[in-house]
Amino acid sequence: MKNSLWLVKLIAIAFVGFMMGYAVPPFLEVGFGDNVELLEEGEALPDDIMKQYEHLYQDDEDD
Amino acid sequence: MEIAIPQKNRIWVLVIVGFFALISIGTYAIHEYYIYLSAYLWFGFIYGMCLQYGRFCFASAFRDLFAVGVPRMVVGIMIATLLFSITSSLVASTGWSTFHAAPWSVHAIIAGLIFGIGMVFAGGCASGSLYKAGEGNGVSMLVILSISVTQSSFVDLGGWFNNLVPKSWAESALTKSMPSSIKVSDGWVDQYLAGYVWDQPVITFAKLLGLEDTSLVGAFVGNTFLGVFLPAICLLAIVYTLWSRQRFTLDFEASEGHKPGLADHVRGYWEMIVSSKRTAIAGLFLGIACGLQMFVIEGLRMKFGVKNAGTLLQRLGHDFGISAKGTVFDPGYWYVTTQEAQWVGWVAQKLGWNNMDNIYFGWVNGIPNPAINPADWMSVALIGGAAVMALSNGEFKWKAPTKELAFWALLGGAFMGIGSRLALGCNVGAFFVRTANGDVSGWSFGLGMVGGAYVGVKIFNWYTERQMAKEMANLDFDL
């Protein structure tokens, strides 16, 4: 049973390690401190998605 | 003596882990964005394993302390908080923390009080109920159900309950810019949030010293040393004086033949700390995992160019239940209660109850489908992680609740649901995470929670003694 628990731990560490692989490069690009704005902009939202929510920001009087 | 673990346990362990691995790999194959949800899943899984291993339950901790004078788990929780604060400060000083401090006022103490009473009634705190559900405990499953339903209903209370809203809250709430879809003047919690809580100051120990939370000195000196280390040392000293000192003195006198001096008591204090080894080890790994989760989630946000999972869900075409500002609940760290409210909120919405007109769901957290809700992935995986640990150690057992325990589970869960919504978090989100990150409101909630646990233990003892007296009176003795 101890072997399967080690296997479980290894699987969990492998997945977390894989995700760390995603997180570390942006961190290396930015470095320590509050330099997040130095990162390149991500993919912009398609216009049609934001249009679906436009009505939610309008006042009743405008409807 | 080693317990023989049945072969079927091994199979179930592999089935559970295989299921989560399959979900992660399968969704990743569909789209890379799903790795964001998998990050929640695997950290939740690790939390579950740690919680079950360390028996990390706030309700058990304070019940043991107040009812039978055993401080072991309270000490373990304090150590875990301390260890988590170190990893939190490490992440915060890189400028990559996902943590946001909460507004601070007396509401945190009151909410903690209600929550503390509830967790003693229920026999498990919010996180404790999750890991106990993973052990097959039916009472804990009822507690989770009760917390979920209570929260979801509580945040949408309107109508007559609007009469209980102070005028100043109602007026202040109306000044907040809300879209027309949010009916801010109809709902007790809406006006409590927008008219009261949001007006309160946000304070961290670093800021009290005039330092930034993201600076190395602010994070370690302000938030960890002043905000956690010093209070923890003092609290542990109080615990030692009130609950451990007497036993240590008796043992010392029996072995040494004289009264212990100050140096001996320091040794006794240290012995009390190291006696909570199992909870402390769990705390160490919880602390590392919590810090890593903040780092990974922030990294993924940077990678995908988003600030909230709502944007990712929209890009993936899952736009049902996204809040009016395009967000879903995505704390970026360990959290328990909001996702529980969300799944009931989602079900209720599907059944025709409009939950999207209140601030909690409609403006802040949304009610996405639980199948693609990041925080729900974390909670489900937490239960799975606890189940894996329990199965591996031969501690898994289905336990059906009795009628009496079911009553206490539902009542306690309701108290915890209300308390956690008033505090904007539970023993994890409002105490453990906030305290470790130097948020003053974390200690306020903790203070209320300890007071509530004390009241809860007293009420529970009174009830139990009354029941026993009744049963004894009904017994006929043939002498």
CA distance B161 to B186: 9
- Would you say residue B365 has pLDDT above 70? yes
The pLDDT of residue B1: 55
Here the ipTM equals 0.89
User: What does the pLDDT average to over B370-382?
Assistant: 97
Task: Verify whether the Cβ–Cβ distance B39 to A41 is below 8 Å.
Answer: no
Place of tokens 């628990």: A5
Whether the Cβ atoms of residue B329 and residue B342 lie closer than 8 Å to each other: yes
Return the domain boundaries, chain B: 7-469
Instruction: Quote the distance between the C-alpha of residue B131 and its chain's center.
Output: 11
CA distance B81 to B64: 19
The pLDDT of residue B328: 97
Of A11-25, A41-55, B330-344, B434-448, give the lowest mean pLDDT range.
Answer: A41-55
Task: Verify whether the Cβ–Cβ distance A34 to B38 is below 8 Å.
Answer: no
Contact list, B297 vs chain A (CB under 8 Å) = 23
The shortest C-alpha distance from B304 to chain A (Å) reads: 6
Q: What pTM was estimated for this model as a whole?
A: 0.91
The pLDDT of residue A4: 83
Report residue B443 as tokens.
């200690």
Question: DSSP letters along B186-241, please?
Answer: S-HHHHHHHHTGGGS-B-BHHHHTT--TTSHHIIIIIIIIIIIIHHHHHHHHHHII
- CA-based nearest residue to B91, from B375, B228, B288, B280: B288
Report residue B387 as tokens.
């189940």
Residue B302: exposed, middle, or buried by beta-carbon count in 10 A (0-12, 13-18, 19+)?
buried
Task: Verify whether the Cβ–Cβ distance A16 to B46 is below 8 Å.
Answer: yes
Q: Which residues of B46-82 are buried (b: 16+ CB within 10 A; e: fewer)?
A: bbbbbbbbbbbbbbbbbbbbbbeebbbbbbbbbbbbb
Question: Hey, which residues does B137 pair with through a beta bridge?
Answer: B399
B202 phi and psi angles, rounded to 5 deg: -105, 115
* Percent of chain B predicted with pLDDT > 90: 85
**What is the pLDDT confidence band of residue A37, given thresholds at 50, 70 and 90?**
low
Task: Verify whether the Cβ–Cβ distance B21 to A27 is below 8 Å.
Answer: no
- Would you say residue A38 has pLDDT above 60? no
* Percent of chain B predicted with pLDDT > 70: 99
User: What does the pLDDT average to over B385-404?
Assistant: 96
Q: What is the pLDDT of residues B43-64, one digit of tens each?
A: 999 999 999 999 889 999 999 9
Alpha helices in chain A (DSSP H): 2-30, 47-54
Chain mean pLDDT for chain B: 94
User: What does the pLDDT average to over B318-331?
Assistant: 94
Nearest residue of A to residue B4 by CA position? A1
Of A22, A58, A63, the CB nearest to B300: A22
CA distance B74 to B84: 15
Whether the Cβ atoms of residue B155 and residue B361 lie closer than 8 Å to each other: yes
Task: Verify whether the Cβ–Cβ distance A63 to B180 is below 8 Å.
Answer: yes
The pLDDT of residue B274: 85
Q: What is the pLDDT of residues B250-298, one digit of tens each?
A: 999 999 999 999 999 999 999 998 887 888 888 889 888 998 999 999 9
- Would you say residue B330 has pLDDT above 80? yes
Q: What is the pLDDT of residues B158-206, one digit of tens each?
A: 999 999 999 999 999 999 989 999 999 999 999 999 999 999 999 999 9
Chain mean pLDDT for chain A: 69
The pLDDT of residue A61: 46
Q: Which residues of B257-277 are buried (b: 16+ CB within 10 A; e: fewer)?
A: eeebeeeebeebbeebbeebe
**What is the pLDDT confidence band of residue A63, given thresholds at 50, 70 and 90?**
very low
Of A27-41, B70-84, B243-257, B462-476, give the lowest mean pLDDT range.
Answer: A27-41
What region does B452 belong to: left with phi over 0, alpha with psi -120 to 50, or beta? alpha
Task: Verify whether the Cβ–Cβ distance A4 to B14 is below 8 Å.
Answer: yes
Sorted by sequence, the CB contacts under 8 Å of residue B1 that are 6+ apart come out as none
The pLDDT of residue A62: 44
Of B14, B17, B300, the CB nearest to A23: B300
CA distance B374 to B372: 6
Give the amino acid at A46.
P
Question: DSSP letters along B369-408, please?
Answer: -GGG-HHHHHHHHHHHHHHHHHHHTT----BPPPHHHHHH
Q: Is the Cβ of A37 closer than 8 Å to some Cβ of chain B? A: no
